[in-house]
Structure 1
């Protein structure tokens, strides 16, 4: 079997999906980066406060990503059969779950901002800035939940560009309002972190409004209507829970991991937290392209497996692994190349800048593993139908490797960069698991209602 498939339609579809998804992810990242960068001119407390506040955004993103994943995995396979009726029912279930989660997190953030920020750091300046930001930006979580599920529904039927257009609009609004409200331009008062939060609220509300209008009134592939929200299919609900809960569970585990990362690094100074924030932004900027590629591969995988083309999928998987590994090596080089220029964008203290250099050196290595194993495990294994494997794998690494090793390093008084490296060690270790799992081909399973799961990937 050739390493690179000769099927030109694979490359054509991959590029057609990956580019708009990657650009949309980049713009979604840019909205948060605009907040982070402009706030970065206000000093370490502001950087750290917004970083800690955004961990709640990261938490809800994990939950919603789980719901999106469940929608994409099931819907992509039904799309392989052109069964849009079942896709509408799956999306309807996802919307309801997203609404409930978004509402719950919004209420928590708005009503208890100081208590939430205080869970991660005792630095009073950081708590004050973070709580002020979280109380306002918390309003967006419900809107964010709905808009992301709407966009995921469009991706599942290979309509990827609309998400890009909506994100471009949201970015323009967010950056413009950030400039005006953070620094007090055009006659407005300088609101600092509160201004960044208000700008985010306005852009998220607009993003949600446009995405909902498009899905309900413009789209002609899915033809989703408000009446679909009122219908319940007990069989598909069971499928959503059966296949969706491991996806959501995996995201919850990862959210817990991120919160523990913040808790552990938050026990140091504001300079360390600022460095973690700066490093995370550079990592996400580089990885956003890989994330788009992985999502595109996931759609192709679901559609191919759903159509029962197992031998074709085996051929594709060889090509995908080589692409992901190559992108990983390139990403590691780009992280090092952009290190100094990226750090200089922030008005950080010498302490924060020194730690940023150390942390960025660490992620220049770990991002290679991330690009290979994370992308393969989602784009191939999870989207191919073996959902529970990824959940179990993440759970084992987070609870038995990552968190314990970081706590031991901290207890032994290891340098801060060593503790940071321990929190990222799984990104390399999981590569060995991914290589074995993917090349056994036992992850190809048809999850559609009339499909028959084939754990050995055979027809």
Structure 2
């Protein structure tokens, strides 16, 4: 008889411990953005909107970097299940090099063409000028951001997750302290406004990179990475990585671009919509840390179990995790609704912006249930099990053939309200559940990727 829930206690221990640690890491990371938004919102609403525009570029880079990192996680988790360490070191090397390349490309684009890039998100010149002054500094953090997150993803593949929390905590305290000093001109520092926030971000990125690199090469006892490993190049493993990781990178890139397009659609509806979307998105990120933590935990556990060759447990764990994802979604939606008003009270914003942000959050309270199930099931179980192509195709169809065309039609042709447009932009989170349910439970996604 098929088990709906596994009775393996070690599974629950691994899943919940990894989920909580990764959720804490994500929470700390999101708290940095939340603190930035609150400080800049208190300083000037145009600064908040300017930073929100640049954060869309940062989100695109984050999705690209996470795509590179998730490819590393999938391969490393399966080799970790086989207890083969040497290939893991070479996969780390591949991931770090690709991360550096991604950071360099994004830096070059925004450094040399800041205004054309920012104009894609809004035509408000005051917002563009604020965003440009922020971007000119913060773009140098892209190199460090990519290195840090690629290494943290790789360590996650061998079930080393606590270092991510330590690094994120350091970034949080450094960033908040420097932002307070330089945005408002405290402790004898000059009052730099939005440029002060950029300086705080850059310094914190440099410090967190130093910490994680030191850990990887000096402290870590699992991978035992050496400089020579980074300098080497393995053509066979690179081919394996591209075969697995290309679809993950493309999927994340298209998703990142789609989020930028969504922000651009709302951005062209006015600065109030920009600020409201920024607030709602930041609050949503903070409250969904468990959702994304569970997806990452699912990918590691699924990949490791596939690498061990224990297919019956792969199926048993997949069924169990789907029920856990639904429970997480319901609790997250309830939590998001309960904290909405207290969070909005922190912002010094107009009544119109507050009302719109509250309406956006109400939408997210409902759609987050779908996000918790389908996102964790597809990017966690299916992708972690080795089928990376399906998620890419599924995301592309829903986002680029349905959500974005319909929302653009509603915004620019039918002239619907920002709230109606926002509903359309988030509708795929529910619709994808109808695809995720049969996909996961047919188990055709189980693939052995190691040599």
Query: Smaller-chain TM-score range?
Result: over 0.9
Q: Residue 359 of structure 1 contacts residue 417 of structure 1 at CA under 8 Å; is this kept in 2?
A: yes
Equivalent residues in 2 for 1:199-218 (5 A)?
199-218=200-219
For the Cα contact (< 8 Å) 2:122–2:268, is it kept in 1?
yes
SS at match of 2:191: coil
Structure 1 ranges of 4+ moved more than 4 A: none
Q: Quote the Cα distance in structure 1 between the aligned partners of 2:146 and 2:173.
A: 20
Unaligned runs of 5+ in 2: none
Aligned counterparts, 1:356-435, within 5 A:
356-410=357-411, 411-435=413-437
2:45 alignment counterpart: 44
The 8 Å contact of residues 43 and 184 in structure 2, kept in 1 or not, is answered as: no
* Residue deviations 1:182-232 (CA, integer Å, cap 9, x gap): 111111111111111100011000000110111011111101111112212
Q: CA deviation at 1:151?
A: 1.2
Aligned length: 449
Aligned twin of 1:181: 182
Q: Structure 2 CA distance, aligned partners of 1:53 and 1:16?
A: 34
Contact 2:69 2:151 in 1 (8 A): no
Q: Find the counterpart in structure 1 of residue 448 from structure 2.
A: 446
Q: TM-score, normalised by structure 1?
A: 0.96
Question: Displacement, 1:112?
Answer: 2.8
1:123 corresponding residue in structure 2? 124
Residues 50-199 of structure 1: pairs in structure 2 closer than 5 A: 50-199=51-200
Deviation at 1:299, TM superposition (A): 0.6
Instruction: Tell whether the 8 Å contact from 2:26 to 2:286 is kept in structure 1 after alignment.
Output: no
SS at match of 1:139: helix
Cα displacement (A) at 1:345: 1.2
Structure 1 gap segments, 5+ residues each: 450-459
Distance 1:23 1:362 in 2: 25
Name the structure 2 match of 1:455.
Answer: none
More moved, 107-116 vs 232-241: 107-116
Instruction: Write the distance in 1 (CA, Å) between the matches of 2:89 and 2:98.
Output: 15
In the other structure, the counterpart of 1:300 is: 301
Aligned-pair CA distance for 1:115: 2.7
Is the Cα–Cα contact under 8 Å of residues 53 and 130 in structure 1 kept in the other structure?
Answer: yes
Partner of 1:457: none
2:432 is paired with a residue of what secondary structure?
A: helix
Give SS of 1:439's match: helix
> Counterpart in 1 of 2:344?
343
Equivalent-residue separation in structure 1 for 2:433 and 2:16 (angstroms):
25
Contact 1:182–1:192 (8 Å) recurs in 2: yes
Q: CA deviation at 1:44?
A: 2.5
Distance 2:126 2:261 in 1: 21
Q: What is the aligned-residue RMSD (CA, Å)?
A: 1.0
